[in-house]
Each structure stands twice: as C-alpha cells, then as structure tokens.
Copies of this chain bind each other. A is one copy, B any other.
Amino acid sequence: MSARILDGKALSETIRDEIKSEVMLLKEKHGIVPGLAAILAGDNPASRIYVSKKAEACDQAGLHSETLTLPASTNQVELLDHIHRLNSDSRIHGILVQLPLPDHINENELLLSVSPEKDVDGFHPVNVGRMVIGKEKSFLPCTPLGIQTLLVRNGVETSGKHVVVIGRSNIVGKPMAIMMMQKAAGADATVTVCHSRTRNIADVIRLGDIVIAAMGKAQFVKADMIKPGAVVIDVGMNRIPDATKKSGTRLCGDVDYDAVKEVAGAITPVPGGVGPMTIAMLLSNTLKSAKNSL
C-alpha cells in the first residue's frame, strides 16, 4: 500500500488563510499591519526567486513587505546601517537577511546585528539559546517549525516516538533535533541525529518512526533504510539531470520518493512538502512579532 501524502502546499495555504484573518483582526483592533523586510545583496538568481516568493506570500496574507535589493558591491558598513535602520523602524516586525551574502561580507556580524525581537528567521544566538532552554519568547527557525506543524496538523503522534534526523545543519538538523526532544506538545520524542560520519547509517535510519532527511544529498534515503509504516519528511531541494524536462533538470529531495513511498506510512513530496510550510512559518513568525510589539 502506498504512503499517505503529507501535502505541505495545501496545509500552508490553510495556514496562510488563518494568518490573513489574524492580520485583518490586528489591523482593525490595533491599527497595526505586520511588516517584513527582506535584504537581498548581490544577484544570486535563486535568492531573488526565494525573496520574491516570500514577498508575494506577504501580500496575499495582508502583511506589509519591503525588499531592499542591493548591489553585490555593497559593503559591510552599508549593510549594517540598513539593518540598524530597520531595527528601529516601527512598521517592520521581521527582518530577513537572504543568504548567501557576497563573499566580502561578514555574515556572522550581520546576523548578530538583527534585533532578536525582529529575528523572524530564528538565527540569532539569543533565539537559538531560548529555543534550547525552551522559552516561549523565541522565534523558532522556519523550516523545523514548518515540519513540526506539518506533523501536528496531520495528527502524527510524536510523544515517545523515535525521530531520526539526518543532517546537522544550523538551519535544519540541529534545531529540529532540539525541538523534537523538548518536553512539549508536538515533541517529547526520542531523538537521534545522524550525519556523514555516522557508521551503518541505514541501520540508524531504520530506527526511526519518523525520519527527517535534511543532509542535501539527492535521493540518499532508500526504501530499505525505512522501517515499514514510518513517517518520512524530506527537506532536500536538489537539482538532478532529467532529459525529459525542457530545462534538462528536475527538482528532487533527499529521499528516493517513488520507492520509499511504497514502504513508508506517510511521506512529504518535493516540491510541495516542506518548502511551502517554511514560507508560511515566516509569515507566522512575523505576525507573532507584531503581536509581541503591542
């Protein structure tokens, strides 16, 4: 029997509708429109697409959005000045610095300069620390939060389950692991983190009642690595050659989807799984920030 498809696209639309209602209410009651500012430096085409998608999602949900498009030659001081200005702009509740930045920019210093209260990506050390300690006030990073929301809203029980996270990035793997081990709703799981150095990785992945693949290797997770009935979440976004496509390539995840869906109990597609949830969570965090500012 084929796995149930966890449709992130459909759920993200539902959530964005919910956000839209809340945004209208906030405007009516308090005269506040949540605002997101994106900083885009240089001309990375993928970055430009991401940022325009985020701006479009803001518009649709009634949030204010602005994109600061800067040339690749912009220097550190100029970028810091822009962030400081946005930190003190009361119309802006979320600031997003699109990565990667041009090579001459000190990315770390820049991310640190974003006010933690407007850090809707959840990348600032203060927010990362609050997440570990388990503080309500932190912004949880959008991709792990989107995955947790996808699990919860699809009724996937996590308490006492074994969650295996593949990959240990600062954006997905590490925060995902921390969030799933917390004593909290939608969490309370036994958590294993495996990665490139893990021995017998197939055996480790096979422990998972829930497997979250986030190591950025096209179709790495095969059907024989999955415990029958497990829930498989695919965070990968890889381009692989495909002669049948006009572009000569197609998008695929870190999971060998066609084969794994015959073994798994539930699975996210790529695209249309985790990706749209990430954007919905960015809006959700911006709304949260606007509410915090009341």
Taking beta carbons and an 8 Å cutoff, which residues of A are in contact with B? 124-130, 132-135, 159-162, 168, 170, 174-175, 177-178, 181-183, 188-195, 197-199, 204, 207
Contacts and interface: CB of A to CB of B under 8 A. Distances in A.
Which secondary structure dominates chain A's binding surface? Answer: mixed
A189 B196 CA distance: 10
A136 B79 CA distance: 24
A215 B191 CA distance: 16
Contact of A129 (B128, B161, B188): B128
Number of copies: 2
Contacts of A175: 132
Contacts of A207: 207
A132 B170 contact: yes
Given A125-B125, A125-B128, 7 more contacts: A124-B129, A129-B129, A129-B132, A160-B197, A178-B178, A188-B197, A190-B194
A204 B194 CA distance: 15
B192 A190 contact: yes
Contacts of A204: 162, 190
